[in-house]
Structure 1
Amino acid sequence: MPKSKRDKKISLTKTDKKGLALKQKIVEDVRNCVEKFSSIYVFTYRNMRNELMKDVREQWKPSRFFFGKNKVIGVGLGRNKEEEVADDLHKLSRCLKGQCALLFTDSPKDEVIEWFESYSCEDFARSGCVVDKTVTLPEGALKQFPHSMEPYLRQLGMPTKLERGVVTLIKEFEVCKEGGVLTPEQAKILEFLGHRLAVFKLDLRAAWIKGSGFERLDGKSEDNDENMNEDEDN
């Protein structure tokens, strides 16, 4: 009986025993999922929110989402044709660049693509986020804020004062500028104002389906993966 591709022993990078054991477990988990599920998808993510991702996992049960170090997951799939645990999986492994993860599922491809294209969730932008919108507040009363917040708003950089117990901007104030990187103070002000400038989104990059093999889903060629800098790895 021919030896299963899954039984191949692949050496991992030199590390301590605890770290090595964890990497070996990840590799084994990936290989178990390859056997268990009929298809695998590589997807990228923007503005990751753990609480929202938890809901996504619930929606997709019993499918399995897999986050981790790209290089270690790549070992589990097979980094080249000689190492791959199933035909064409090394092509999927090449797509593991930057912020990305895997979805193992038995759901039909059309259903997977439709869900990923339609899913997005707005949330408050965090410090360090690049915003795509300018938010400016006109001079005048800010009646949405209680008077007790006025000192804190000034600490955040807003030119405010109390006029007859009402929080008031004494001049026009630009909270953030399109293309700018948010400071912690700007992020907090936007949250107070209720402006959700971040979108949590998952985008499909590629797929591997048993019996069909590898397929690119983002319109890019396989050459893009080979030319990408490995420093983009998580």
Structure 2
Amino acid sequence: MPKSKRDRQVTLSKTKKKGREHKETIVNTIRQAAEDYSSAYVFSFENMRNHKFKEFREQLKSNSRFFLGSNKVMQIALGRSESDEIRPGLHKISKVLHGDAGLCFTNLPKEEVERLFNEYEEYDFARTGSISTEKVELKEGPLEQFSHEMEPFLRKQGMPVRLNKGVIELVSDFLVCDEGKPLSPESARILRLLGTKMASFRLHLICRWSPGDFEQYAPGPDDSGVESS
């Protein structure tokens, strides 16, 4: 009886025993998922928010399994060529596992997966260095949304403020951020205080694999040699 490719021993990078065992566990878990689920998808993400992704994953946990982490380990688990792939065609999705990407095994119909990923979008507060999606400017006058205890903190963020009869007052117009420009640490903090969410956490499907079928939705960072069948 031929030996299953899933049982093949794989040599990982030379690390401490605990780290190596952890990688081997991930490899074996991915290989088991490849046997247990009917299809696999590679997806990319932008503005990742761990708590939001956890919620999305929880919605699908009854019929799907997600993997994020070392792309190299995931590639090793799937196989990086026809000669070492664990199921026919899986090396094709291995080739597009680069950059900010993840792996999803699922038993859901193709149309349902496409709908879930395409419709998913969650907004959150932008972080330092993110590109501002709009211009935010505060006009001179009272800032009644802030309590008087906030005045020293706002001043440290560069805002021209003062206390006037217990009310924080902006003594001149203040530009928090300009559209298309990176956010400074101070701008990011002020936007959070204002409740302004500029970061859009989204998931994008790159490709799909199922036995005997491969479909590429979008070009990956390096999709050379990947062909649809």
TM-score by length of 1: 0.90
Q: Deviation at 1:156?
A: 1.3
Partner of 1:148, secondary structure, is: helix
Structure 1 counterpart of 2:224, one-letter code: E
Q: Deviation at 1:191?
A: 0.7
Which residue in 2 is equivalent to 1:13?
A: 13
Which residue in 2 is equivalent to 1:136?
A: 137
Partner of 1:102, secondary structure, is: strand
Partner of 1:117, secondary structure, is: helix
Structure 2 counterpart of 1:17, one-letter code: K
Give, in whole Å, the separation in 2 of the partners of 1:184 and 1:3: 56
Which residue in 2 is equivalent to 1:38?
A: 38
Asked if 1:225 is matched to 2:226, the reply is no
Give, in whole Å, the separation in 2 of the partners of 1:8 and 1:84: 11
Which residue in 1 is equivalent to 2:146?
A: 145
Q: Deviation at 1:224?
A: 4.1
Decide whether aligned partners of structure 1 residues 35 and 56 sit closer, same or farther in structure 2, where only a CA change above 3 A counts.
Answer: same
Partner of 2:223, secondary structure, is: helix
Which residue in 1 is equivalent to 2:83?
A: 82
Asked if 1:95 is matched to 2:96, the reply is yes
Structure 1 counterpart of 2:200, one-letter code: V
Structure 1 counterpart of 2:46, one-letter code: R
Q: Deviations over 1:157-214 (max 9, x none)?
A: 111112232211111111112232223221110011110000111111111112x322
Structure 1 counterpart of 2:217, one-letter code: L
Structure 1 counterpart of 2:86, one-letter code: V
* Equivalent pairs, count: 224
Partner of 1:2, secondary structure, is: coil
TM-score by length of 2: 0.92
Give, in whole Å, the separation in 1 of the partners of 2:72 and 2:221: 18
Alignment of 1:177-216 (within 5 A): 177-210=178-211, 212-216=212-216
Decide whether aligned partners of structure 1 residues 224 and 70 sit closer, same or farther in structure 2, where only a CA change above 3 A counts.
Answer: closer
Structure 2 counterpart of 1:69, one-letter code: S
Q: Is the 1:10–1:83 Cα contact (8 Å) retained in structure 2? A: no
RMSD of equivalent CA atoms: 1.7
Q: Which moved more, 1:10-19 or 1:136-145?
A: 10-19
Q: Which moved more, 1:23-32 or 1:170-179?
A: 170-179
Partner of 1:226, secondary structure, is: coil
Structure 2 unaligned regions, length at least 5:
none
Q: Which moved more, 1:107-116 or 1:3-12?
A: 3-12
Percent identity, aligned pairs only, is 47
